[in-house]
Amino acid sequence: MQTIQKHMTTFAECCSPSDDLYTLAKKMKENEIGFLPIVKDDHLVGCVTDRDVVIDGLAKEVQPNEVTAENIMQEKVITGYPDMSVDEASRLMQDHQIQRLVVTEDQKVKGVVSIGDLAVSKNADQAAGNTLSEISKPHPS
C-alpha cells in the first residue's frame, strides 16, 4: 500500500493567525505555493489559499496590513496522516472537493499532499484524475 508520506511535500512554510495579507502573499510568491497552513503554538488552526487572499482580502479593497490570516482563514481544515493510503486520501479529497490535504500528526503540520503530488505515483495517476474530476463537479450544498 502506498502512503501519502511518500508523495507529500514536507512543509517548512506556515503562517500564524496574526500574519497580515502582505506576509501571506509574500510567502506564497517566494515559495511558489498557493496554500499556507496557519499554526498557533505549533498546532494547526486553519489554512489560507491564494484565492482567500484575493477574494476575502484584496478584492474588498482593504489595506494588506490591516487584515490578518485569522480574518480570512478557513478554520475547518481537512487533514490526513502520514500513513494514510493514497486511495484513502484521494477519496477524502473527492468527498470534500479539495485539492490539498494537510498532513498532521498530533495536530502538528508534517506536510501537504496535493492532487499533483498523487499524480506522481504511477499507481495513483488514475486516482488523481478521478479526484480532480470529482472536485470539478458541482455538488449540492
Q: Measured in whole angstroms, how far is the alpha carbon of residue 34 from the centre of its chain?
A: 8
Q: Is residue 139 helix, strand or coil?
A: coil
pLDDT for 122:
47
DSSP string, 64-79: TTT-BHHHH-BS---E
Domains of the chain, start order: 4-136 (3.10.580.10)
pLDDT for 134:
67
pLDDT for 64:
80
pLDDT for 135:
63
pLDDT for 43:
94
Q: In this structure, are residues 104 and 83 in contact, taking their beta carbons and an 8 Å threshold?
A: no
Intervals of the chain under pLDDT 50: 122
C-alpha cell at 135: 472536485
pLDDT for 126:
63
Q: Kindly report the pTM of this predicted structure.
A: 0.81
pLDDT for 82:
96
